[in-house]
Amino acid sequence: MARPPLFPDQSAAGIAVDPRTLERVIPESKRSDGTVRKQLKIRPGFTPQEDVSRFRGSRQQAMDATALPKGHILGW
């Protein structure tokens, strides 16, 4: 049987899937003074603001795909 990963994949907000229970949690962490923060469970269906991607319309996506790198000079 394989062991669960030591550092599971986390979202931008720090949410990971607990390999034992398959629940979404924010893992426990240690503060600078040595005390430990408890592990927090995340409600099913909740998406924090940090994980919501910015809406880009189809025309904006097409412009982003064809855009030149920043500082590029045409005909140089």
3-state secondary structure of 65: helix
Radius of gyration for the alpha carbons in the chain, expressed in angstroms and rounded = 20
Rounded to whole angstroms, the maximal C-alpha distance in the chain is 59
Collapse the DSSP code of 35 into the 3-class scheme (helix H, G, I; strand E, B; otherwise coil) and give the result. coil
The predicted-structure confidence for 14-71, as pLDDT tens digits, reads as follows 888 887 888 899 888 899 999 999 999 999 888 888 888 889 899 999 988 888 888 8
Question: What is the model's pLDDT at position 71?
Answer: 86
Q: Which two tokens stand for residue 16?
A: 């990971």
